[in-house]
Amino acid sequence: MSRNLRGLSERKGLAGGLYEEISSSAGEMHDVIADNFMTGRSAVLGVSSFYDFLGNDHHGRKIFVCDGTACLVSGGHEKVMRKLSAQYSEDEIGSVTCLGHCHSNDAFMVNGDIRVAGDGKPEDSFRVATNAAKPALLPEEGETGAYWDLARKYLSDSAAALAELELSGLRGRGGAGFPFHIKVRSSRDAVADRKYVVCNADEGDPGAFSDKWLLEERPHSVLFGMLMTGLITGADTGVVYIRGEYPVAVRAVREAVAILEAEGITAGGTGAPLFPFRFHVTEGSGAYICGEETSLLNSLEGLRPEVRTRPPFPAVYGLFGKPTVLSNVETFANVHYILREGGSTYAALGTEKLPGTKLVSLDGAFNRPGLLEVHMGTPLRTVIEDMGGGMRYPVKAYQIGGPLGGLVPASRIDDLTLDFESFSREGFLLGHAGIVSIPSGFPIIKLLEHLFEFTRKESCGKCFPCRLGSVRGQELLAGAAAKKGRIDRQLFDDLLETMQVGSLCALGGGLPLPVRNALQYFSDELDEYFISK
CATH code, domain carrying 214: 3.40.50.11540
Q: DSSP alpha helices (H): ranges in 190-276?
A: 210-217, 219-233, 247-262
Q: Are residues 223 and 318 in the same domain?
A: yes
For residue 466, is the peptide bond before it cis, meaning its omega torsion is within 30 degrees of 0? no
State the Cα–Cα distance between residues 169 and 286, nearest whole angstrom.
33
Q: At what angle do helices 464-481 and 444-458 cross, to 10 degrees?
A: 150
State the Cα–Cα distance between residues 270 and 240, nearest whole angstrom.
22
State the Cα–Cα distance between residues 393 and 437, nearest whole angstrom.
10
98 found inside a domain = no
Q: What is this structure's pTM? A: 0.94
Number of Cβ atoms within 10 Å of the Cβ of 327: 27
In this prediction, residue 125 has a pLDDT band, given cuts at 50, 70 and 90, of low
Boundary-marking domain end, from 386, 409, 437: 437
Which pLDDT score, from 0 to 100, does residue 303 have? 92
Q: Are residues 246 and 170 in the same domain?
A: yes
**DSSP secondary structure string for all residues of 259-294:** HHHHTTSSTTSSS--SSS-EEEEEE--S-GGGGSHH
- pLDDT tens-digit readout, 41-86: 888 888 888 999 888 778 778 899 998 999 999 998 899 999 999 8
- pLDDT tens-digit readout, 81-90: 999 998 898 8
Q: Are residues 422 and 512 in the same domain?
A: no
- Rounded mean pLDDT, 389-418: 95
State the Cα–Cα distance between residues 103 and 258, nearest whole angstrom.
30
pLDDT reading at 228 higher than 80: yes
56 found inside a domain = no
64 found inside a domain = no
E strands of 118-195, at which residues?
A: 127-130
- pLDDT tens-digit readout, 204-217: 888 999 999 999 99
400 found inside a domain = yes
| Residues 317 and 293: beta-carbon distance below 8 Å | no
CATH code, domain carrying 503: 1.20.1440.230
Bigger pLDDT: 8 vs 277: 277
Boundary-marking domain end, from 346, 368, 386: 346
The number of distinct structural domains making up the chain is: 4
Supply the DSSP symbol for 413: G
Bigger pLDDT: 394 vs 53: 394
Q: Are residues 330 and 361 in the same domain?
A: no
Boundary-marking domain end, from 437, 456, 480: 437
Q: Are residues 409 and 525 in the same domain?
A: no
Bigger pLDDT: 327 vs 175: 327
In terms of residue numbers, what domain contains 467? 444-531
In this structure, the strands spanning 107-110 and 113-116 are: antiparallel
- Rounded mean pLDDT, 335-363: 93
Q: Are residues 483 and 521 in the same domain?
A: yes
